[in-house]
A = this chain, B = another copy of it.
Amino acid sequence: MGKLWGGRFSGVTDELMKRFNDSIGFDHRLFRSDIQGSAAYAAALAESGVITQQEAEMIRDGLDKVRLEFESESFEIQPGDEDIHTAVERRLSELVGPVAGKLHTGRSRNDQVATDTRLYLLSEISKLGLAVKQVQAAILTQSEHHIGVVMPGYTHLQQAQPLLFSHWLMSYFWKLERDNGRLADLKKRTSTLPLGSGALAGNPFGIDRASLAEKLGLAGITENSVDAVSDRDFLAEFLAWASILQVHLSGLAEDLIIWSSREFGFLQIDEAYATGSSLMPQKRNPDSLELVRGKTGRVVGHLFGLLMTLKGLPSSYNKDLQEDKEGLFDVIDSLSVELPVVEGVIRTLNVNVERMSASLDDSVLATDMADYLVRNGVPFRRSHELVGKAVKRSEQLGVSLRDLPLREYQHIDNAFGEDVNGIFDFRASLEARDVRGGTATASVREQFHRARECLEQT
């Protein structure tokens, strides 16, 4: 069997053009979705009387064989197989004869590939969604395990206020939980059937599209055939999802990389996720995390690539759309390895509890000192200024806030009483922030509770 579309052509395709045009090199991974879609379509053709039930069965049996050949890696790509759709139909016709030629009745590769890609993505979404949940589970477990650990919280990478380590770690749980929400939303838009849209004008053989959708497990059907064959919103939305997820992971990586430096020394990546240097024998580098951070560019780059490819295209199908797949596949492949690696890194994290608490500087209690003045009736804006002066004075004298003599405080303002030293308690500081979402132990335990509820949802 030659080209699917060769009848009106006299010339031959240029050899480089063939390489340029063929997508079999990457779209073969759609084989399962392609066969699934074709089997459902054959059934629909039979239902609407275009082919007989017997013909539909022959096609279905043939498609099963083709799928088995792919699954057992015995399928052989032939030179004429320009894409997965051509390859499957070609092999089907070898297996079942001319009846294979009836399968494509009323169908176009335009609605076919749109359907295949959606089915494929839906199946990958499930796996990725699970992998995200496993990262969340590792975060929750580690957070629960380390509930007592106090550390400095940072803004601008400067010590800000005391935090529970678990509170910091849980912040990533909630980022990922938003990713889950977005994934659920895009899943519902992906779960829509384009099949039955033909090349662009619709199907003239009375196909029952609603029943087709049901058979394929899709939640809805597209409302306009011109739109259906070219809609790639679901891919853009998926890549935007992956991009935001990557931004989250890059932040986690950044925190962990900085904290595993010798100077911070807050934690250490397990050897299973570190590598050494070819030159420097002492090295133990957090390569896993650097790759996580680095892959953000790649994923966002693919999103940008897709949007740019889509920009300014005339409506319905244009071949530019063939460029939608390689970036998608690369993102799926990247995340499929990356998410379990992140999970492993978290699960095996070595936390240096002593170093964290030893690192706390008294100045992180400056806000508590201002709050103390507030409770003594000083308006906050003024109390902030007074404490600022105390900080400056302590730096001038080279002592910590705790060691700044009371007379120095009172020299700044009489609102400072002897009881000001009551604020020098890191744990008390954090326990005071017991609002919902705050770092107090009770608030964090409440987070655990809600987090577990999230994880228990399907």
**Are A297's CB and B291's CB within 8 A?**
no
- Cβ-defined partner of A196 (8 Å) among B12, B19, B279, B437: B437
A98-B382, A379-B99 known; A388+B281 contact, CB < 8 A? yes
Contact, CB under 8 Å: B281 / A298? no
- B312/A251 in contact, CB under 8 A: yes
Q: Which residues 72-130 of A sit at the B interface, judged by CB distance below 8 A?
A: 85-86, 89, 93, 98-110
What is the total number of residues of chain A having a CB less than 8 Å from a CB of chain B? 206
CB 8 Å contact bits of A237-266 with B (1 = contact, 0 = none): 100100110110011111101101111110
Which 6 residue pairs spanning A and B have beta carbons closest together? Answer: A7-B388, A202-B438, A301-B305, A5-B276, A294-B320, A101-B381
Query: Which B residues are in CB contact (< 8 Å) with A31?
Result: none
B108 and A279: CB pair below 8 A?
yes
A182 interface hit (Cβ, 8 Å)? yes
Q: Which of B85, B105, B156, B439 contacts A285 (CB 8 A)?
A: B156
Q: Which of A62-70, A334-342, A414-422 contacts B (4 or more CB under 8 A)?
A: A334-342
Asked whether B101 lies within 8 Å of A316 as measured between CB atoms, the reply is no
Interface majority SS (helix, strand, loop, mixed), chain A: helix
Cα distance A311–B17 in the bound complex, in angstroms? 22
The docked-state distance in angstroms from the alpha carbon of A381 to that of B347 is 33
Query: Once bound together, how far apart are the Cα atoms of A114 and B395, in whole Å?
Result: 32
A408 within 8 A of B: no
State the Cβ distance, A240 to closest chain B Cβ, in Å: 4
Flag if A305 contacts B314 (CB, 8 Å). Answer: no
CA distance A435 to B41 in the complex (A): 14
- Residues on B with beta carbons closer than 8 Å to the beta carbon of A140: none
- The reply to whether B291 and A323 form a contact with Cβ atoms under 8 Å apart is yes
**Is A310's beta carbon under 8 Å from chain B?**
yes
Q: Does A287 count as interface, using CB distance less than 8 angstroms?
A: yes
Alpha-carbon distance A7/B429, docked complex (angstroms): 22
Which residues of chain B come closer than 8 Å to A228, judged between CB atoms? 437
> Which single member of B258, B298, B367 contacts A258 (CB below 8 Å)?
B258
Verify B250–A17 contact, CB threshold 8 A: no
What are 26 A-B residue pairs whose CB atoms fall within 8 Å in the complex? A7-B388, A7-B389, A8-B276, A8-B395, A9-B271, A14-B272, A17-B288, A100-B379, A153-B200, A156-B257, A156-B319, A160-B283, A163-B200, A167-B201, A167-B224, A171-B224, A182-B189, A182-B237, A196-B435, A202-B433, A225-B437, A250-B313, A253-B312, A296-B311, A297-B305, A297-B310
